[in-house]
């Protein structure tokens, strides 16, 4: 009886295994097994690492199994397990990234995307005979994602390009100039490789050619108009002042090899997998390295951009703007600026001791723990600020650090979007000047966007509330999701833009991914 039960149990288990076969048919890998190993081998097209999924080893195992005798049941089961584990890992990485973002961003609060089951997606795709279906479900459904994949392929094609085989020579130093630079009309020993690079990147479209068809300027001994225009286009794509003058910053970007650009795109693709960019009908996204805010609508037929403006973000040295997402729920017109305690202790109190007139000139006041307000500066009250018994705030007005409007989104770092009286800073190429908050170039335009559900708030009414000089708060009937993110590679209007890693986040993410790849193991890689 015991033997009979054991046999029945074995048969039942064998039947279950047979029913669960996904990749092996008659002791040989089926067509979908071959498709799977090709997809794993092509993981690099998504900025992933094929070795994380044991792609080469699995391809060899499948090839060997196709050429030799039918596999024994144990070998078939092992291959089934390895392929399934590798594909599930691959799909999970496509959907939510390879690491927990908190490994590289201590303050990050970006939620994991939900609603995706890698195992279920894989089985459904296999049942439909369409592995690509599972990939489509896994990847971020963003035009930017696919655009970056195309940019990635383009940059990979340039990795061994002759234009980067030697460095550009030093820039000329003109009489009376303190720094070397190349201006229109000047000769330069590096004109030929410069033209080659600009042509390869698509910025120089009307180059002359030399033997072999390589773009050059051999017939033009100086930095001429065609090259100047190409450099301007290059500068636009790299967050530089597009004046056509090649100085140290432009030369530095021109010297960056395509392999480094490939890595920038790969890191941006990784971040897109964690970043909830389509989680609301209307969204505001601030990209820190680009110093840009985009406001857009999510529609059935795609994404409609509504507003784009320059922003100023936190200083890279000691006041970095954190990455997070949160609902914008309140607008404060003519706001008070409650000076953060750290800024008060480290900056404002020392300045007020040196220059007491700054207190009245800038409209500051003291607020005690009991709410009592004092507009008179005294040493005792300054001591109270240092002791935590008083706080400093700035009254509404033209000198207020927040400008005349503040967009409030709850977060642990007291980060807001706001106007600024220092509008001249928007003319700078690099705009990391704040204490962490995000300063807006056009706050009225943003207010009109977020208040579309409250049409009584016309532009005239918004401007009147901003100029009132008396603080008032408005609650939005339809909160708008705000995402503070970080991407040093962006595709816009068919052109790829690259930005400096101002906070070092790319460097940290790169290191974290390399560590994860080095230690990652699993059935697919151990087998």
Q: What pLDDT, in 10s, does the model give residues 39-69?
A: 999 999 999 999 999 999 999 999 999 998 9
The pLDDT assigned to 331 comes to 97
The pLDDT assigned to 20 comes to 62
Per-residue pLDDT tens for 231-274?
Answer: 999 999 999 999 999 999 999 999 999 999 999 999 999 999 98
The pLDDT assigned to 156 comes to 97
The pLDDT assigned to 524 comes to 45
Percent of the chain topping pLDDT 70: 90
The CATH number covering residue 200 comes to: 1.10.101.10
Per-residue pLDDT tens for 75-106?
Answer: 999 999 999 999 999 999 999 999 988 888 87
- Cβ atoms of 193 and 163 closer than 8 Å: yes
Domain presence at residue 420: no
Confidence of residue 288 (pLDDT cuts 50, 70, 90): very high
Closest C-alpha to 194, from 250, 113, 111? 250
Per-residue pLDDT tens for 393-407?
Answer: 999 998 899 999 999
CA 353-359-363 angle, to 5 degrees, is 160
Domain presence at residue 456: no
The pLDDT assigned to 241 comes to 94
> Is residue 74 predicted with pLDDT exceeding 50?
yes
How far apart (Å, rounded) are the C-alpha atoms in residues 271 and 501? 14
Residues 6+ apart with CB under 8 A from 172: 180, 181, 182, 186, 187, 188
The pLDDT assigned to 87 comes to 97
| pTM for the whole structure | 0.87
Lowest mean pLDDT among 218-227, 321-330, 354-363: 218-227
> Is residue 214 predicted with pLDDT exceeding 60?
no
The pLDDT assigned to 205 comes to 85
Q: Which domain holds residue 198?
A: 162-256
Q: What share of the chain is helix, strand, coil (3-state, %, to 5)?
A: 45, 20, 40
Domain presence at residue 26: no
Domain presence at residue 114: no
Q: Rg of the chain's alpha carbons, rounded to an integer?
A: 29
The pLDDT assigned to 4 comes to 36
Domain presence at residue 379: no
How far apart (Å, rounded) are the C-alpha atoms in residues 280 and 277? 8
The pLDDT assigned to 8 comes to 33
Domain presence at residue 176: yes
Per DSSP (E only), the strands in 278-334 are 282-287, 292-299, 302-314, 324-333
Mean pLDDT (whole number) for 154-164: 96
Confidence of residue 213 (pLDDT cuts 50, 70, 90): very low
Domain presence at residue 85: no
The pLDDT assigned to 123 comes to 94
Per-residue pLDDT tens for 167-192?
Answer: 999 999 877 778 999 999 999 999 99
Residues 6+ apart with CB under 8 A from 18: none
Domain presence at residue 216: yes
The count of domains in the chain is: 1
């Amino acid at each position: 009886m015991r033997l009979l039960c054991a046999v029945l149990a074995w048969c039942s288990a064998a039947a279950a295994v047979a029913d669960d076969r996904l990749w092996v048919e008659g002791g040989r890998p089926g067509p979908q097994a071959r498709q799977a190993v090709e997809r794993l081998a092509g993981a690099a097209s998504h900025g992933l690492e094929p070795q994380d999924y044991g792609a080469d080893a699995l391809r060899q195992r499948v090839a060997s199994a196709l050429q030799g005798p039918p596999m024994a049941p144990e070998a078939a089961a092992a291959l089934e397990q390895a392929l399934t584990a590798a594909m599930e890992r691959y799909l999970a990485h496509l959907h939510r990234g390879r690491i927990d973002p908190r490994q590289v961003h201590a303050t990050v609060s970006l939620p994991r995307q939900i609603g995706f089951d890698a195992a279920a997606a894989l089985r459904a795709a296999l049942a439909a005979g369409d592995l690509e279906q599972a990939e489509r479900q896994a990847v971020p459904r963003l035009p930017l994602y696919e655009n970056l994949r195309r940019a990635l392929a383009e940059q990979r094609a340039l990795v061994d390009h002759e234009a980067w085989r030697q460095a550009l020579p030093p820039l000329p130093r003109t009489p009376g100039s303190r720094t070397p630079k190349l201006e229109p009309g000047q000769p330069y020993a590096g004109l030929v490789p410069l033209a080659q690079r600009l042509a390869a990147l698509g910025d120089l479209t009307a180059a002359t050619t030399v033997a072999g068809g390589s773009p050059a300027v051999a017939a033009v001994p100086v930095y001429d108009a065609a090259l100047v225009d190409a450099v301007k286009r290059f500068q636009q794509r790299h967050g530089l002042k597009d004046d056509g003058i090649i100085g140290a910053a432009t030369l530095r970007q021109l010297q960056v090899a395509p392999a480094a650009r490939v890595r920038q795109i790969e890191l941006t693709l990784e971040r897109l997998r964690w970043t909830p960019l389509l989680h609301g009908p209307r969204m505001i996204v601030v990209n820190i390295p680009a110093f840009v805010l985009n406001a857009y609508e999510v529609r059935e037929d795609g994404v409609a951009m509504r507003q784009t403006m320059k922003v100023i973000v936190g200083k890279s040295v000691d006041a970095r703007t954190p990455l997070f997402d949160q609902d914008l729920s309140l607008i404060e017109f003519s706001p008070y600026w409650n000076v953060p305690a750290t800024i008060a202790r480290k900056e404002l109190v020392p300045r007020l001791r040196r220059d007491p007139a700054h207190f009245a000139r800038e409209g500051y006041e003291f607020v005690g723990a009991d709410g009592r307000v004092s507009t008179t500066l005294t040493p005792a009250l300054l001591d109270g600020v240092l002791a935590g018994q008083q706080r400093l705030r700035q009254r509404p007005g033209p000198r207020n650090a927040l400008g005349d409007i503040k967009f409030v989104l709850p977060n642990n770092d007291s980060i807001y979007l706001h106007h600024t009286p220092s509008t001249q800073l928007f003319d700078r190429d690099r705009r990391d000047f704040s204490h962490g908050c995000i300063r807006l170039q056009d706050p009225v335009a943003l207010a009109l966007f977020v208040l579309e559900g409250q049409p009584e708030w016309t532009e005239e009414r918004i401007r009147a509330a901003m100029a009132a000089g008396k603080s008032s708060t408005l609650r939005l009937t339809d909160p708008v999701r705000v995402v503070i993110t970080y991407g040093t590679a962006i595709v816009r209007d068919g052109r790829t833009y690259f930005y400096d890693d101002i906070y070092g986040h790319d460097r940290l993410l790169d290191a974290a991914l390399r560590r994860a790849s080095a230690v990652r193991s699993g059935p697919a890689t151990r087998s």
